[in-house]
């Protein structure tokens, strides 16, 4: 039997968190949950504590923490309840934890994800925003503290699976010509530019293939998600931007590909279900069972491919620009995007204003060099302020 893995799941009540717990449930002899964390979904957290009996549960704010604490006591559960960002950092770096699933959404995930890397953990990275905002310094921290970084994002997990085991950061050395990063194209793949003006949050969140949290669903609809993933791939695999080709593949069956200098293209395929990449990373080096159905090739019938349209989806181009600019620019892009997505979800601005706001913020906030996490957080703060100012100027 393999030795038991001791887990902290950051963002356990979200889409990735729930899928992780689903995989864990099937393998009680492999995994033990030490800590779970959430923003403020008390009911979901209470239920998870009932089922998984973690040693710690962390809520973001004191109010939610105190309410959960009361409910946990009443239910007679021994879980210790904590709250605040410091507590998130604490459970990400506990000595008794070896593996941390980083599945908080957005910039809010950066501090605990850094804490896990600094503590040398096995970091399962779903929170792509950490790499977008702070790619260089995050990769340095991973190296310095001998952490292990495993990609959960389905595309990056597919690339990881299609690279040779001895890959250590030099694509040319293992004969890679380029990376083909697949994208579903989102719910508006075939919509005209004019029709995008009227799009509602409900339409934007109705992804054709994946069921995900709201923020990443809107990112998929604008294709910012693919832009963020280009930046993510750049840092994870040390890939120059021109070596990353985005390929629209509406069926989301091929999760990404690696092309080698001999002309071979290796791909990872599967049903679009995040439990596959999660199980891959949790089980490594073993393959472990999930309830993901077999891929029915006859039902799928055909696989299609298209080039991305930068005109209808300007967010993709903005992400490439941010990657080329470097320094604090990707953090500025990310912050502006988070404010824009939130404002769109609250119906404070139209879908098509998302790239406009991001571009404005990228132009207004000046690029700085990044030497530390503090520098990143400062750029994030400044960009958010500028985005909010821009939004206020609209009304």
Binding residues for ligand NAD (CB under 6 A): 11-17, 38-39, 41, 60, 103-105, 108, 126-129, 153, 210, 212-213, 215-216, 274
Q: How far apart are CA 37 and CA 79, in angstroms?
A: 12
Q: How far apart are CA 101 and CA 113, in angstroms?
A: 9
Least distance to ligand NAD, CB of residue 215, Å: 6
Q: How far apart are CA 304 and CA 253, in angstroms?
A: 10
Q: Look at the alpha carbons of 97, 100, 104, 110 in this order and tell me if their dihedral is positive or negative.
A: positive
Please check whether residue 64 is in contact with residue 83, taking contact to mean a CB–CB distance below 8 angstroms.
Answer: yes
Least distance to ligand NAD, CB of residue 86, Å: 12
Least distance to Mg ion, CB of residue 122, Å: 20
Question: Which residue number, 55 or 215, has a Cβ lying nearer to Mg ion?
Answer: 215
Question: Which residue number, 155 or 380, has a Cβ lying nearer to Mg ion?
Answer: 155
Q: How far apart are CA 139 and CA 142, in angstroms?
A: 5
17 binds, options Mg ion, ligand NAD, none, Cβ within 5 to 8 A by partner type: ligand NAD
- The HSE-up count of residue 142 (CA atoms within 13 Å, CB side) is 19
Question: Which residue number, 153 or 259, has a Cβ lying nearer to Mg ion?
Answer: 153
212 binds, options ligand NAD, Mg ion, none, Cβ within 5 to 8 A by partner type: ligand NAD
Please check whether residue 338 is in contact with residue 107, taking contact to mean a CB–CB distance below 8 angstroms.
Answer: yes
283 binds, options ligand NAD, Mg ion, none, Cβ within 5 to 8 A by partner type: none
Please check whether residue 72 is in contact with residue 100, taking contact to mean a CB–CB distance below 8 angstroms.
Answer: no
Chain positions contacting Mg ion, by CB under 5 A: 153-155
Least distance to ligand NAD, CB of residue 172, Å: 28
Residue nearest to Mg ion as judged by C-beta position: 153
Question: Which H or E run includes 234?
Answer: helix 224-237
Least distance to ligand NAD, CB of residue 118, Å: 18
329 binds, options ligand NAD, Mg ion, none, Cβ within 5 to 8 A by partner type: none
Question: Which residue number, 153 or 273, has a Cβ lying nearer to Mg ion?
Answer: 153
Q: How far apart are CA 125 and CA 13, in angstroms?
A: 16
Least distance to ligand NAD, CB of residue 355, Å: 18
- DSSP for 293-341 reads PPP-HHHH-----B---TTT-HHHHHHHHHHHH-TTHHHHHHHHHHHHH
Please report, in angstroms and rounded to a whole number, the separation of the first and last CA atoms in the chain: 62
Nearest of 130, 123, 129, 77 to residue 97 by alpha carbon: 123
Least distance to Mg ion, CB of residue 70, Å: 38
Least distance to ligand NAD, CB of residue 41, Å: 6
Question: Which residue number, 89 or 155, has a Cβ lying nearer to Mg ion?
Answer: 155
Question: Which residue number, 108 or 239, has a Cβ lying nearer to ligand NAD?
Answer: 108
126 binds, options Mg ion, ligand NAD, none, Cβ within 5 to 8 A by partner type: ligand NAD
Least distance to ligand NAD, CB of residue 92, Å: 11
Q: Give 3's contacts (C-beta < 8 A, 6+ positions apart).
A: none
Question: Which residue number, 155 or 382, has a Cβ lying nearer to Mg ion?
Answer: 155
Please check whether residue 345 is in contact with residue 106, taking contact to mean a CB–CB distance below 8 angstroms.
Answer: no
Question: Which residue number, 60 or 358, has a Cβ lying nearer to ligand NAD?
Answer: 60
C-alpha R_g of the chain = 20
Please check whether residue 232 is in contact with residue 171, taking contact to mean a CB–CB distance below 8 angstroms.
Answer: no
Question: Which residue number, 212 or 373, has a Cβ lying nearer to Mg ion?
Answer: 212
334 binds, options ligand NAD, Mg ion, none, Cβ within 5 to 8 A by partner type: none
277 binds, options ligand NAD, Mg ion, none, Cβ within 5 to 8 A by partner type: none
320 binds, options Mg ion, ligand NAD, none, Cβ within 5 to 8 A by partner type: none
């Amino acid at each position: 039997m393999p030795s038991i893995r001791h887990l902290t799941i950051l963002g356990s009540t979200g889409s990735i968190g729930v899928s992780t717990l689903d995989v864990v449930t099937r393998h009680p002899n492999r995994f033990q949950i030490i800590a779970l964390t959430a923003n403020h979904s008390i009911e979901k957290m209470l239920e998870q504590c009932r089922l998984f009996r973690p040693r710690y549960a962390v809520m973001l704010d004191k109010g939610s923490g105190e309410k959960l604490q009361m409910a946990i006591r009443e239910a007679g559960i021994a879980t210790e309840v904590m709250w605040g960002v410091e507590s998130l950092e604490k459970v990400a770096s506990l000595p008794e934890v070896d593996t941390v699933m980083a599945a908080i959404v957005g910039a809010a995930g950066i501090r605990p994800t850094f804490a896990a890397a600094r503590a040398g953990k096995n970091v399962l990275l779903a929170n792509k925003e950490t790499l977008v905002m702070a790619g260089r310094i995050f990769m340095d921290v991973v190296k310095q503290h001998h952490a292990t970084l495993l990609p959960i994002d389905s595309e990056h997990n597919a690339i990881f699976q299609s690279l040779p085991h001895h890959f250590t950061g030099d694509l040319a050395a293992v004969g890679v010509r380029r990376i083909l990063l697949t994208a579903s194209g989102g719910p508006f793949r075939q919509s005209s530019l004019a029709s995008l003006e009227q799009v509602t949050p409900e339409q934007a969140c109705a992804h054709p293939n994946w069921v995900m949290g709201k923020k990443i669903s809107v990112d998929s609809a604008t294709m910012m998600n693919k832009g963020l993933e280009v930046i993510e791939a750049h840092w994870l695999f040390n890939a120059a931007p021109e070596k990353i080709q985005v390929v629209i593949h509406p069926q989301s069956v091929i999760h990404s590909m690696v092309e080698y200098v001999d002309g071979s293209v290796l791909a990872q395929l599967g049903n679009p279900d995040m439990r596959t990449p999660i199980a891959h990373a949790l089980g490594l080096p073993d393959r472990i069972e999930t309830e993901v159905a077999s891929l029915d090739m006859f039902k799928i019938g055909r696989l299609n491919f298209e080039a991305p349209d930068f005109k209808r989806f300007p967010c993709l181009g903005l992400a490439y620009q941010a990657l080329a600019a470097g320094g604090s620019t990707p953090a500025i892009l990310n912050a502006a995007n988070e404010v824009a997505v939130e404002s769109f979800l609250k119906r404070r601005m139209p879908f098509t204003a998302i790239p406009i706001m991001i571009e404005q913020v990228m132009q207004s906030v000046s690029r700085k060099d990044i030497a530390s996490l503090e520098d990143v957080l400062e750029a994030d703060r400044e960009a958010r302020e500028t985005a909010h100012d821009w939004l206020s100027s609209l009304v």
